[in-house]
Amino acid sequence: MKYFFSDWYYLSIRNIKQIWRPLLALIPSLFIPVFFFAVNAVSLSAFSKVPGFPNVSYKDFIAPVAIFTAIFFSAGNAGIELVQDISSGYFKKLIIMPINRLTIVLGKLAEVAVQSILQGLIVLVLLFAVGVHFATGFLGVLAMFAMLILFAMAWSCIGMIAALRTQNARLVQSMFTLVFPFLYLTTSQSPKNLLPATFATIATYNPVTYIIEGTRALVLNGWGADAIWQGFLVAGVLFVAMVTFTLYSFNKTMK
């Protein structure tokens, strides 16, 4: 157990250092959520007056989506970096060492968590600057970050699984496009009761919906909302499932 934590620590430090290499690569994942928040908050502000819409401004309604998107985008680098490690030969050297495979995965997830915190905090400050308030206060901010980081780590496993199974950088990079259907086929832009029936059904079975609704409840509704524990449940189940699949892919790759 002693070596498990020391291996995890040193692998995490090595991976976290890659966040800033290069620093300019962080700009798109910060610009996109801020841009869409600014555009939608202004262009769709009248939507908040539609009958059936919650009694909040559209700016407050989509504010959790801006933080979600910033943290969501931070999950895309793990798979790409793993492909780079495989191509450079570093990964081969790593797996022949007496290192627990789980520490390799957790080292990558530590990088995702740190990047999620950094990007999420920047967007959070911007939201506070335009007047967004949290109904659950400071503890609600911490809970929101916990939920979103757990989900981001689970999502990053998809890229790592693709990297381990294909070892193809172009394919892993193309998986970034999965973000948009999973994000927009939810209640990110509209409450479920105002969605067309087909879209509402898809949103019900889309796990991302529960993460967005959980974070939105922390911003708008308070601690009594069922969406909060449902969001944590979905994020936790996805995390356990995706880490398990990633370790399975490790074993398949090594055979």
Q: What is the pLDDT of residue 255?
A: 59
Tell me how crowded residue 130 is: count the other CB atoms within 10 A of its CB.
Answer: 12
Q: What is the largest CA-CA distance in the chain?
A: 62
Task: HSE, CB side, 13 Å, CA atoms: give it for residue 11.
Answer: 26
pLDDT above 90 (res 17): no
pLDDT, tens only, 186-205: 998 899 999 999 999 999 99
Residue in the block written with tokens 């892993």: 172
At 191, which amino acid appears? P
Q: What is the pLDDT of residue 73?
A: 78
Rg (CA), the chain: 19
pLDDT, tens only, 35-50: 888 888 888 888 888 8
In angstroms, the Cα distances linking 100 to 15, 248, 250 are 16, 13, 11
pLDDT above 70 (res 33): yes
pLDDT, tens only, 58-109: 999 999 899 888 888 777 777 788 888 888 888 878 777 778 878 888 888 9
pLDDT, tens only, 207-239: 999 999 999 999 998 898 899 999 999 999 999
Give the model's confidence band at 254: pLDDT under 50 very low, under 70 low, under 90 confident, else very high.
low
Q: What is the pLDDT of residue 132?
A: 87
Q: What is the pLDDT of residue 30?
A: 75
pLDDT, tens only, 231-250: 999 999 999 999 999 888 87
Domain coordinates of the chain in residue numbers?
2-254
